[in-house]
Structures are given as C-alpha cells and as structure tokens.
Amino acid sequence: MRVFAIADLHLSFTAPKPMTVFGPNWAGHPDAIFEHWQDTVHPDDLVLLPGDLSWAMRLPEALQDLSRVAAMPGRKVLLRGNHDYWWPAIGKLRAALPAGMLAVQNDALRVGNVVVSGTRGWVTPGPDSFTDEDRRIYEREQERLRLSLEHARRLGAGTPGVHHVLMLHYPPTGPHFTPTAFTDLIARHRPDRVVYGHLHGVPVSRSLQHWGDIPTDLVAADGLGFRPKLILDLSGEATPD
C-alpha cells in the first residue's frame, strides 16, 4: 500500500463555481485532478483528503461531488476544511459516504498499518490580526487535535511497524513558522508525517516542510499541479489483517 494526499479539490459539479479567480492554472482543474489520480493511484492505495472538498452547501449536493472522488482508485480518508459547509454531524456523514470513503473528525482511524488522525485547525496567533473569536476557535481546535492524537495512540500510533499521518486543513503555524499549540502537540505525539492544505499560490519552497525532524507537507491541489502527492510508500511491508 502507498499513501497519497491532496487537499482543496474545490469541486462544484451541481452548481459550477469557476476557480480561475484564483489563477489561470485552475482552469479545468477537476479534469486535471481525476486524470492525474487515475494515472498515479492504485486500487490498494490510501488517499488522504485534508479539506475543502466541495463547494456544496448541503450533504446531498456534496455527495454528487464526493461520488466522483469515490469512483477514483484507492480508499479515501476525508477531513473537513473551512469551506466544507455541507459537512454534517460525523455519524450522519459516515452513514452516507460511498463505499471506500472514511472520515476523520477529532478522532483517528486505522487502515492496515497506517493510523490517520486529524482536525481542521485554524489561524494561529501572530503579528497579524487575531481576534477574540479566532482565539476561541484556536483553543477549541487545540483540544480537538489533542483528542485526535490520543485516539491515534490507542490505535497503535508510535509502536513499531505502525505509521501515523496527521491531517490538518490549516497549516500548524503562521507564515513565520513560530511554535503554536498545534506544533506543541505535534512535537509531543510525534506523528510520522503531517499533511495540510488551505494555502493557495504558495510555492512549496516557502511552505512549512518540517517541524523539527517531522516531515510536514503542503498538499493543496494547485501547489501539487493537481496530482496526488506520495506521502508514504509501504508497498514492501506486510499489511496486518
């Protein structure tokens, strides 16, 4: 099994919303995503999708977008982004998702020898505007991340032979890469890899690529050229039943 990640699909098949306002490279981006996905991902791979999946406002419309993703190769793990307004209570979502799709919300799950944890995250304190409402959400997301990482540990994260990937939608730091409540938890729980999205038009060379010795990957679709990024290659390892 290999593990890929790609965030910010921004699909809108039911009510098309042109993404070219964010740059000409977004023209026809769903076709580019699905073509690259077909060429890259195998049926036994795992694909992590850390947020901003559909512009829909309600779950039935979002499922029309998600069904296109479900038809692609591999098992998929979804995380909520700041534009996923359609995302309902997690129990309702899990009951409605197409086969082969899983969702993480303030918890964790295990697929073979891979544990996936995650929460949305939020903007972090810094020299830019940080309101009282930002602080309230930031502290709430800090607690949700703690719960998710503790759940991952109960599923075997941190034990030999088990690989732990943390998904966030927002990056865990601001643009100056100073420590935050999120990075404190990352340093304490030490996932094998962190993936995040949300940032558009940011070159990978200017993004957060490590926290200490933990690889940290910006996987927003436009930054990847709309091609899922290989995060872990475990094809040589035996997968537990």
Sheet strand arrangement including 214-218: 108-111, 114-119, 163-168, 193-196, 214-218, 210-211
Closest CA to 59 of 76, 79, 34, 84: 84
pLDDT in tens, 9-59: 999 887 777 776 677 777 779 999 999 999 999 999 999 999 999 999 999
Q: Is the pTM of this model over 0.85?
A: yes
Instruction: Count structural domains, the chain.
Output: 1
* Residue 241 falls inside a structural domain: no
Residue 103 has pLDDT above 90, yes or no: yes
Instruction: Please report the pLDDT score of residue 129 as a whole number.
Output: 84
Residue 90 lies in a domain: yes
Task: Give residue 240's Cα distance to chain centre.
Answer: 24
Q: Which residues pair with 79 in a beta bridge?
A: 50
Check pLDDT > 60 for residue 239. no
Q: What is the CATH number of the domain that holds 122?
A: 3.60.21.10
Distance CA 154, CA 74 (A): 25
Q: Alpha-carbon distance 120 to 94, whole Å? A: 17
In a domain, 179, yes or no: yes
In a domain, 94, yes or no: yes
**What range defines the domain where residue 16 resides?**
2-233
| Mean per-residue pLDDT of the chain | 93
Residue 227 forms part of a structural domain: yes
Residues 6+ apart with CB under 8 A from 205: none
pLDDT at res. 166: 98
Average pLDDT estimate for 90-104: 97
Q: Is 240 within a domain?
A: no
Cβ atoms 228, 4 nearer than 8 A = yes
Mean pLDDT along residues 219-233: 95
